[in-house]
Amino acid sequence: MNPERTSPRPGLLYRLYQRRLRREIDPARVPHHVAVIVDGNRRWAKQRLQVRAAVGHRAGARKIPEFLVWCEEAGIEVVTLYLLSNDNLSGRDGGELADLFDIIAELAAELAATPGWRVKHVGAVEGLSPELATALQDAEEATKEREGMHVNLAVGYGGRSEITAAMRSIIAEHQAAGGTIDTLAERLAPETIGEHLWTRGQADPDLVIRTSGEQRLSDFMIWQSAYSEFYVVEALYPDLREVDLLRALRDYSRRQRRLGK
């Protein structure tokens, strides 16, 4: 796989540093699931005096296939990419949203065309354009039988909305089965809620990475990340380099995960 690069071929010193980082990562402690808050695309465009945020969003989209190849080569099996939040749908300019819908639809088709990768939409379709909703559904349907790296596209996603939807689903199933309000409480266990999330059937993220230097969760996987490790990268997403990921993996492999203990 040779995705389009957003930067020149790295020099000798960079490649030597890559090799050193790879040697310092314990292969037995590579995270199974990495979740990424893709951040900094708009600032990237502003730094280059671009009027339209779409310039930054397209640069970020070009980086994603390359980033996923790095993850695959590192042995990561599941990657979740936070591309468009539920709050963005009401807080962004209509023109920027239209551009984003087109960019993400193209990205979903590109990822689905990559051999082996399994693509899944994580989020709600309400508020998305019909074209984007169809593109996400088509990518998921076309790749559902694949057994390679699992790529979740968090689009129209919000952690609070996800938990709310899960609770409503549990209540609806309980009522349909003839349950009463008195017996509902018995069903409301963490395991049951997890089975009704948009990520049901998947392991929770071991590592959550946020680019652009911001240190907040932004309503991303607030249920699933209860015991995740966090790592902040200063680079804006379009400027992300493989060494940024490798440093995150090295840092993760050195941590002692407590998992609430």
Residues that are catalytic: 39, 88
Q: Number of C-alpha atoms within 13 angstroms, CB side, residue 203?
A: 14
d(CA 243, CA 245): 5
Kindly state the tokens that stand for 203. Answer: 């392991």
Which one-letter amino acid corresponds to residue 14? Answer: Y
Which of 165, 224, 205 minimizes the C-alpha distance to 80? 205
DSSP one-letter code for 205: P
Q: Are strands 150-157 and 207-210 parallel, antiparallel or unpaired?
A: unpaired
Q: Are strands 229-232 and 118-122 parallel, antiparallel or unpaired?
A: unpaired
Buried residues in 24-45 as b, exposed as e (16+ CB within 10 A):
ebeeeebbebbbbbbbbbbbbb
Which of 157, 122, 159 minimizes the C-alpha distance to 137? 122
- Residues in contact with 229: Cβ distance below 8 Å, sequence separation at least 6, in sequence order: 31, 206, 207, 208, 252, 255, 257
H or E stretch covering 151: strand 150-157
